[in-house]
């Protein structure tokens, strides 16, 4: 994998790609330009369809989201699936830990009826199925989950990105964004694929203890931060922006709070309800 990434980097840099991630300076044609305000569909259009299912992603795309968010878990047979929780209990009619179940076992369960009977027989999609469904026509905001149990998940993700030709120059336009709470995970990806834009998710205790030097440390490997909106203020956003970091808080479904976040200067946000951010399209 590392030899492959090195070869890709050589092609990128010898092709005259002057501005590589995490440096976003002067990238006026980039989706991740700090002047853009990005709307990220949290687990897809999860107010209108069961989270992390193909209908949820399709609805988000139809409604005009800039990105669809995909939480990644890894099965016992090393398959990457779209699921927030470490178990399948909440969003399927089955039970058990993802890391202890094979993909075949997970696929037998219904992941749609809990939301509405009209989604009966929907199941948990693999990352491969998502890429097959939407290809390069969609922007993906991928969160790596459960690092402790999902050993090797970063390598498997990079392998699939390679397989689907996402590790090429169009990445410079923000086609793929990867986020995680785990700094070690992000640094590993940055070392192997430094042109991939990374977002450092932040917990409350991290946000409350941010200093200029800590913002600068994050900027060494990431293009932005993902804080919970409740714990940030104008000073936090200003310091982050001055360091050159994007700010994409989660998860906001109230239009008043959306306006407040915009006034603070955030560069995007996560939402379950895409109608709260005045997108051009509305659900059917």
Give the pLDDT score at 14.
32
How do residues 146-170 score in pLDDT, each as one tens digit? Answer: 898 899 999 999 999 999 999 986 5
How do residues 203-238 score in pLDDT, each as one tens digit? Answer: 999 999 899 999 999 999 999 999 999 999 999 999
Residues known to be catalytic: 42, 84
Query: Quick one: pLDDT band at residue 196, thresholds 50, 70, 90?
Result: very high
Residue 241, SS3 per DSSP: helix
Give strand pairing partners of 81. Answer: 73, 126
Give the pair of three-digit tokens for residue 159: 């392998």
* Spatial CB neighbours of 90, under 8 Å, sequence gap ≥ 6: 114
Residue range 168-182: average pLDDT? Answer: 85
Q: Is residue 153 part of a domain?
A: yes
Asked if 233 and 249 count as a contact pair (C-beta separation under 8 A), the reply is: no
Give the pair of three-digit tokens for residue 243: 């360091």
Q: Is residue 242 part of a domain?
A: yes
Nearest Cα residue to 197 out of 215, 224, 167, 164: 224
Give strand pairing partners of 166. Answer: none
Give the pair of three-digit tokens for residue 58: 């399709």
Give the pLDDT score at 168.
85
Give the pair of three-digit tokens for residue 123: 């199941």
Q: Is residue 95 part of a domain?
A: no
What are the helix and strand counts (H, E) for the chain?
A: 10, 9
Q: Is the pLDDT score of 246 beyond 90?
A: yes
Asked if 125 and 106 count as a contact pair (C-beta separation under 8 A), the reply is: no
- Between 29 and 100, whose confidence is greater? 100
**Count: domains in the chain:** 1
Query: Quick one: pLDDT band at residue 131, thresholds 50, 70, 90?
Result: very high
Q: Is residue 54 part of a domain?
A: yes
What is the spatial distance between Cα 20 and Cα 94, in angstroms, rounded to a whole number?
44
Give the pLDDT score at 71.
98
Q: Report pTM.
A: 0.89
Phi (first) and psi of residue 13, to 5 degrees: -75, -35
Give the pair of three-digit tokens for residue 118: 């009209």
What is the spatial distance between Cα 8 and Cα 254, in angstroms, rounded to a whole number?
42
Nearest Cα residue to 221 out of 198, 247, 251, 193: 198
Give the pLDDT score at 171.
59
Nearest Cα residue to 143 out of 90, 76, 198: 198
Asked if 253 and 272 count as a contact pair (C-beta separation under 8 A), the reply is: yes
Residue 134: domain span: 2-86+125-274
Give the pLDDT score at 200.
98
Strand residue runs (E) in 181-263: 198-202, 224-227, 246-247
What is the spatial distance between Cα 63 and Cα 57, in angstroms, rounded to a whole number?
10
Q: Is residue 283 part of a domain?
A: no
Q: Is residue 73 part of a domain?
A: yes
- Residue with the two structure tokens 């009619």: 93
Give the pair of three-digit tokens for residue 4: 């492959």
What is the spatial distance between Cα 124 and Cα 103, in angstroms, rounded to a whole number?
9
Q: Is residue 97 part of a domain?
A: no
Give the pLDDT score at 114.
97
Give the pLDDT score at 3.
44
CATH code, domain with 150? 3.20.20.190
How do residues 26-72 score in pLDDT, each as one tens digit? Answer: 343 478 988 999 999 999 999 999 999 999 999 999 999 999 999 99
């Amino acid at each position: 994998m590392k030899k492959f990434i090195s070869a890709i980097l050589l092609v990128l840099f010898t092709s005259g790609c002057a501005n590589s991630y995490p440096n976003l300076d002067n990238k006026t044609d980039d989706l991740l330009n700090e002047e853009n305000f990005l709307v990220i569909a949290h687990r897809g259009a999860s107010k209108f369809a069961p989270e992390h299912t193909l209908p949820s992603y399709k609805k988000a795309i139809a409604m005009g989201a800039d990105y669809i968010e995909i939480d990644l878990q890894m099965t016992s047979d090393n398959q990457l699936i779209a699921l927030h929780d470490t178990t399948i209990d909440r969003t399927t009619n089955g039970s058990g830990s993802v890391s202890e179940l094979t993909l075949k076992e997970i696929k037998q369960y219904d992941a749609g009826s809990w939301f509405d009977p009209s989604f009966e027989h929907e199941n948990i999609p693999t990352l491969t199925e998502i890429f097959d469904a939407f290809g390069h026509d969609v922007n993906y905001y991928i969160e790596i989950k459960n690092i402790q149990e999902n050993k090797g998940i970063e390598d498997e993700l990079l392998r699939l990105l390679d397989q689907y030709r996402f590790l090429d120059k169009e990445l410079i336009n923000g086609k793929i964004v990867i986020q995680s709470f785990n700094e070690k995970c992000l640094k590993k990806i940055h070392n192997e694929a430094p042109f991939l834009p990374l977002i450092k998710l932040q917990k409350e205790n991290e946000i409350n203890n941010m200093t200029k030097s800590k913002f600068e440390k994050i900027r060494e490997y990431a293009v932005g931060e993902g804080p919970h909106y409740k714990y940030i203020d104008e000073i936090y956003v200003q310091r982050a922006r001055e360091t050159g970091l994007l700010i994409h808080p989660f998860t906001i479904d109230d239009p008043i709070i959306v306006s407040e976040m915009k006034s603070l200067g955030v560069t995007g946000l996560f939402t379950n309800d895409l109608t709260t951010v005045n997108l051009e399209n509305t659900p059917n």
